[in-house]
Structure 1
Amino acid sequence: MSAGIKMHLPNLTLAQQQVEQYHRDGYLILDSLISSEVCDALKNRMSELIDGFDAESVRSIFTTNEQTRHTDQYFMDSAETISFFFEEEAFDESGNLKQSLSASINKVGHALHVKDDAFRQFSLATVWGNMLRQLGMAEPRAVQSMYIFKQPNIGGEVVCHQDSTFLYTRPMSVIGLWFAIEEATLENGCLWGVPQGHNVGLLKRFERVSPESIETKMVTLKEHQWHQYELVALPVSKGSLVILNGEFPHLSYANRSGKSRHAYALHAIDQACEYPKENWLQSNVNNGFQLFHL
């Protein structure tokens, strides 16, 4: 870590029951898996990155509503950079921040696992590659990373979605690793999901109009409506890991509490699968997607 902190990560072997539960329900929670010290080290490193960000250089706002209308070159370039995206409610009518910069960022992505030493050390650790192989991946690769703040009072809603919509492979292979850097509660915007909802299949694909274009579109593959009563809350303690099947439908509500909900999300695919050139995220960093340490 930047402050000389050594990354102590757990030794982990999933029980067969846990593997079966993941495939049955579409998700698996490993409670308090990461130490508080590692969580705090990642949080502190992110604070350093924000301190070095020139807020006047870009004003990109992240929203999951009408995604195609908010796609620009900055967003596309974030596949290979450490990019900063603001909360929708961060600015007043004059375009000025309503609170401090550190309380205004929605997320930072999408190449932390490549571009920052601390996040790379954590993200590409042997333990995660081995775990992904246990869950069925032949050649796991890290493709996308995001630090998500869920800011107090203005933390935006993330509508119900499936991660494979944005990181499509043939056949399906996406797995999301969602680490709770802070406690995630009903009050500050924990995840909600639809158990076994992944069995419905993928509903949409978010893709480029053409491989080289920054223009994007949302393609409907299947008509289906998730119902409120199907959702189950997934509150977790600090240091917990939520493993998400790429077709598992999940969301988080807006955070109107006075407490943030920091999380770090890492998405992996199986390199044995086809990764279409129409996917929005294309990376040439270090010759492609990242191998987990062996």
Structure 2
Amino acid sequence: MGIVGNLTADQLQSFNSQGYIVLESFAVDEDIDAMVRRMDQLVNDFDPSSTASIFSTKNQQKLTDDYFFESAEKISFFFEEKAFGDDGKLKQPKQLSLNKVGHALHEIEPAFKKFSSSNKVSSLMFSLGYKRPVIMQSMYIFKQPGIGGEVVPHQDNSFLYTEPQTCTGLWLALEDATVLNGCLWAIPGSHKKGLVRRFLRDEDGVKFDRPSPSYDQKDFVPIEVKAGSLVVIHGDLIHQSFENQSQKSRHAYSLHVVDTDGCQWAPENWIKRKVEPEPLYVS
């Protein structure tokens, strides 16, 4: 795969066929180091007593609170489900207890904004056919050693729905991602079968509109990548990751982009922004 944002005809064909592509060496070491260092500072300055919000892909309705909803335009910290003991206290240091930090890193933090708004990212989105691409959320995902939680099979369009559907996930490996430390897994071609369910927000909180289908794990393939590689994920692709049972973390930076040209943001989405985000452009 190439290292520039503009996709070749072969890359576009592969993406349309498989529902994802891997762009090796997409991010340079300088940008990776800057994002990792800044996250270290943010975590060091974070007071865990200020929140005990837990992120879960299994039961977010029970665990969701105002802190989660307000994170769309802030930098918020979310713990792993297994981070707390029966006494309600962290079982290990906060640096090894967080699931992720999100969801507006790309807007607020310069190190993350530099990469997210780069010509490389912008031209990638335009090469996918976007007319007015907008980043709706960003996440720094830790996948902690030993407790990094499972992310169950899902589609990004479920959470970030537009009409017509336009969500694309950009998943940047900040560290090597392997089968041992919880790399992504996907069902190639599953995006062709369409969206199976939606994640909706109403006055009672959030919920899926229907149960998850069952999937045959033999259909999934691992996406092992080196640090600096970008995985581009179609919004309807079924993908997941397993628990990190190794002693090595699997840090990643994830962006989700939608098109705002002729597309409507669903009012039932969990993200309800007060200020419309700026679109990406190529300078």
Q: Which of the five TM-score ranges fits, normalised by the shorter chain?
A: over 0.9
d(CA) in 1 for partners of 2:206, 2:94: 29
Secondary structure in 1 aligned to 2:124? helix
Q: 1:236 aligned to 212, 225, 233, which one?
A: 225
Q: What is aligned with 2:208?
A: 218
Q: 1:91 aligned to 76, 84, 87, which one?
A: 84
d(CA) in 2 for partners of 1:93, 1:16: 54
1:268 has 2:257 as partner: yes
1:289 has 2:282 as partner: no
d(CA) in 2 for partners of 1:36, 1:257: 24
Q: 2:235 aligned to 222, 240, 246, which one?
A: 246
Structure 1 position 290, deviation (Å): 2.8
d(CA) in 1 for partners of 2:107, 2:115: 11
Structure 1 position 250, deviation (Å): 0.4
1:76-100 CA distances to partner (integer Å, 9 max, x unpaired)? 0000110000011111111111111
Q: 1:180 aligned to 168, 173, 176, which one?
A: 173
Q: What is aligned with 1:116?
A: 109
1:60 has 2:50 as partner: no
8 Å contact 2:173–2:227 — kept in the other structure? yes
1:165-219 CA distances to partner (integer Å, 9 max, x unpaired)? 100011110000000000000100000000000111111111112xxx3612211
- How has the CA–CA distance of structure 1 residues 223 and 119 changed in structure 2, closer, same or farther, with 3 Å as cutoff? closer
Secondary structure in 1 aligned to 2:254? strand
Structure 1 position 40, deviation (Å): 1.7
1:80 has 2:73 as partner: yes
> One-letter code of the match for 2:246?
S
8 Å contact 1:39–1:181 — kept in the other structure? yes
Secondary structure in 1 aligned to 2:265? coil
Structure 1 position 233, deviation (Å): 0.5
Secondary structure in 2 aligned to 1:291? coil
- How has the CA–CA distance of structure 1 residues 214 and 72 changed in structure 2, closer, same or farther, with 3 Å as cutoff? farther
1:203 has 2:192 as partner: no
8 Å contact 2:132–2:280 — kept in the other structure? no
Q: What is aligned with 2:138?
A: 145
d(CA) in 2 for partners of 1:70, 1:204: 20
What root-mean-square deviation, in Å, do the aligned CA atoms of Structure 1 and Structure 2 show?
1.4
Secondary structure in 2 aligned to 1:204? coil
8 Å contact 1:76–1:214 — kept in the other structure? no
- How has the CA–CA distance of structure 1 residues 11 and 278 changed in structure 2, closer, same or farther, with 3 Å as cutoff? same
Secondary structure in 1 aligned to 2:264? coil
Provide the identity percentage.
Answer: 44
8 Å contact 2:20–2:233 — kept in the other structure? yes
TM-score (norm 1): 0.92
d(CA) in 1 for partners of 2:134, 2:220: 30
Q: What is aligned with 1:7?
A: none
d(CA) in 2 for partners of 1:122, 1:218: 32
8 Å contact 1:85–1:108 — kept in the other structure? yes
d(CA) in 2 for partners of 1:77, 1:178: 23
Secondary structure in 1 aligned to 2:198? strand
1:106-150 CA distances to partner (integer Å, 9 max, x unpaired)? 000011111212111211112211111111211111110000000
Unaligned stretches of 5+ residues in structure 1: 1-9
Unaligned stretches of 5+ residues in structure 2: none
8 Å contact 1:39–1:182 — kept in the other structure? no
8 Å contact 1:191–1:234 — kept in the other structure? yes
